[in-house]
Amino acid sequence: MNRDLLALHQPLHVFEESLFENIVEDLVNKGFSIQKNGLPDFILNALATCQETLHHKEYKTAGIGRADDFQHVSEVRGDTICWITGSSQEGALWLAWCDALKLYINRTLFMGLFSFESHFACYEPGKFYKRHVDAFRGQSNRVLSLVAYLNEDWQPDDGGELILYRDEEDIRGISVTPQLGTFVVFLSEQFPHEVLPAVRPRHSVAGWFRVNGSVNDNIDPPK
Ligand code: OGA
Ligand code: MN
C-alpha cells in the first residue's frame, strides 16, 4: 500500500479535521463553501494523475437530466465527461476522500448523505454550461454538489469562471476561478450556477452526494 493510501486509513483528525470543520461551518452559515487551494496535495496529485492518463476518447458528451435530448444539450452545456468508477488506485483514493467528507458531514450536520457519484469534465475553448441547478427540490436525491479544479496557472483572460448565484433572484453571483487546488461545495437544490465560456481547455471534477430516495421496490440511487 502506498503512503497516500495509508494516510487514508489514519483517523480522520490526523489530516482533515480543520478543513472539513471549515466546510461544515460555511455550509451552516451560507450553504456553500469556497476553498481556494483547499485540496490536500495527495488528493490533487491523485486527480491530476488520473486526469492526465485519461484518453480523449474516454470522455463522452454530457447530458442534462435523466432523459437526454442530445440535439438541445449543446446549447446548455458543452463539456465532455468521464465517470470515476474507482477502478484505478487514484480514482479510489478520490472516492475514499469524498466518503470521509460525507461521514464527517453526516456526523456533524445529520444530512443523511448516502452515496456519491463523480466525473471528470473538460470544457474545450468556447464551451460553457448555462445557469442551472443540479437538483430540483423534491425531484432528485442530489443534495450536495462538489466541484474541484485542476487547471494550473489559470488567468483572468482564460474565462471559464464558475458563477455561483445565492438564489433564484441573484443575477450578480460569486465568481470562482477554476484554479488548480480550488474546490467548491454547495447545497444542490439551493444555488443556481453557471460556467462561463472557457478560453483554454478547462479541467474539473464534479461530484454529488445523494440521499437515499428509495421508495418500495424502486431503488434510488441504484447502488
Ligand atoms: C456541473 C457544474 C461547475 C464547474 O457539472 O453541474 O455545474 O465549475 N460544474 O465545472
Ligand atoms: Mn452544476
Q: What is the 3-class SS of the chain, one letter each residue?
A: CCHHHHHHCCCHHHCCHHHHHHHHHHHHHCCEEEECCCCCHHHHHHHHHHHHHCCHHHCEECCCCCCCCHHHHHHHECCEEEECCCCCHHHHHHHHHHHHHHHHHHHHHCCCCCEEEEEEEEECCCCCEEEECCCCCCCCCEEEEEEEECECCCCHHHECCEEECCCCCCCCCEEECCECCCEEEEECCCCCEEECCECCCEEEEEEEEECCCCECCECCCCC
Cα of 2 vs centre of ligand 2, distance in Å, is: 33
Q: What is the pTM of this model?
A: 0.89
Which ligand 1 atom is nearest residue 79's CA? 5
| Residue segments in the chain with a per-residue pLDDT below the cut of 70 | 1-15, 65-72, 138-140, 214-223
Ligand closest in space to the Cα of 120: 1
How much is the pLDDT for 13?
A: 46
The residue whose C-alpha atom lies closest to atom 6 belonging to ligand 1 is 134
**Residue to substitute in 73, 84, 136, 145 for testing ligand 1 pocket (most ligand atoms within 8 angstroms of CB):** 145
**Residue to substitute in 83, 191, 193, 208 for testing ligand 1 pocket (most ligand atoms within 8 angstroms of CB):** 193
Contact residues of ligand 1, CB 6 A cut-off: 121, 129, 134, 147, 162, 193, 195, 204, 206
**Residue to substitute in 164, 189, 204 for testing ligand 1 pocket (most ligand atoms within 8 angstroms of CB):** 204
Give the tens place of pLDDT for each residue, 41-99: 999 999 999 998 888 778 888 887 655 555 568 889 999 999 999 999 999 999 999 99
Which ligand 1 atom is nearest residue 176's CA? 8
How much is the pLDDT for 214?
A: 64
Ligand closest in space to the Cα of 195: 1
The residue whose C-alpha atom lies closest to atom 5 belonging to ligand 1 is 206
Q: Determine whether domain 5-210 maps to CATH 2.60.120.620.
A: yes
Cα of 77 vs centre of ligand 2, distance in Å, is: 10
How much is the pLDDT for 9?
A: 60
How much is the pLDDT for 63?
A: 80
Ligand closest in space to the Cα of 202: 1
